[in-house]
Amino acid sequence: MISFIDITEMKNGVRIRVQKKISKKTWKNPSNRINEVYMIVVSEDRNQLIDEILMMQKEELEHCKNLRALYISMVNHLNNHEMHNCNERGVDIRVGDICYIDFGNAFIEEIGFQHFGIIMSICRNKAYVVPMSGNKKAYAQAYDKNNPNGKKHLMRLNKIGSMNKHSVLFINDSKWINTARIIDVKGHLKRNSQLFSEIMERVKDMIS
């Protein structure tokens, strides 16, 4: 069971109406949450918090479809999360690099764990990257001149560097990341190339 509070009144000035206990199955159904505002109840006891976190992590692990990727991501986070950039691990990067990146655990509809990505910009230890995948279904659905009815948040990309197959860029997943998430550099696309300019235009179109 998961505890939540329906906020309306509280002693310290925050108002509470009622406390509910809702099963995860019930909570996952959006129709059970429409027009309801909840706040997760957090214990002030450190040991109790640790126990609850471990219990939730165990449940998450039992339902995880890709334990290997999760394990790698947890190891990378443990080892690298306090690093300011990838240079501290001896990884040098520049704009146009195609890198192997650990995006970490993610929500549904977000790219997560280990994927390739291209660096579009670098600023103060962070890189703006466009994630990519070798997903054949997404590649087939991507928009380009040969597929004018394709999905514009997807962009096809041919083999570059040591990449051994065609890829698809997930434009709508582009983001700033701490460069410490970058594991390795696998290829490079010159920033003055036509393809790099096309990717940049697609990114601008997506966020404008």
Token look-up 């004018």 returns 148
- Whether 29 maps to a domain, the answer reads yes
One domain for residues 114 and 40:
no
Q: How far apart are CA 70 and CA 72, in angstroms?
A: 5
- Whether 75 maps to a domain, the answer reads no
- Whether 74 maps to a domain, the answer reads no
pLDDT digits (tens, 9 = 90+) for 3-12: 444 444 444 4
pLDDT of residue 42: 76
> What range does the domain containing 152 cover?
85-207
Residue 151's CATH number: 2.30.30.110
One domain for residues 108 and 190:
yes
Q: Residue 147 has what DSSP assignment?
A: B
Question: 81: number of CA atoms within 13 Å, CB side?
Answer: 8
When the pLDDT of each residue in the chain is averaged and rounded to a whole number, the result is 85
163 Cβ partners below 8 Å, 6+ apart? 98, 116, 186, 187
One domain for residues 89 and 56:
no
- Whether 136 maps to a domain, the answer reads yes
pLDDT of residue 4: 47
Q: Residue 51 has what DSSP assignment?
A: H
Q: Hey, which residues does 15 pair with through a beta bridge?
A: 9
Burial 66-99 (b: 16+ CB within 10 A, else e): eeebbeebeebeeebeeeebbeeeebebebbbbb
pLDDT digits (tens, 9 = 90+) for 42-53: 778 899 889 988
- Whether 68 maps to a domain, the answer reads no
One domain for residues 114 and 161:
yes
One domain for residues 59 and 90:
no
Q: Cβ(145)–Cβ(112) under 8 Å?
A: no
Sign of CA dihedral 153, 156, 160, 165: positive
pLDDT digits (tens, 9 = 90+) for 54-75: 998 999 899 889 999 999 999 9
Q: How far apart are CA 53 and CA 49, in angstroms?
A: 6
Count up the domains in the chain and report the number.
Answer: 2
pLDDT digits (tens, 9 = 90+) for 105-155: 999 999 999 999 999 999 999 999 999 999 999 999 999 999 999 999 999
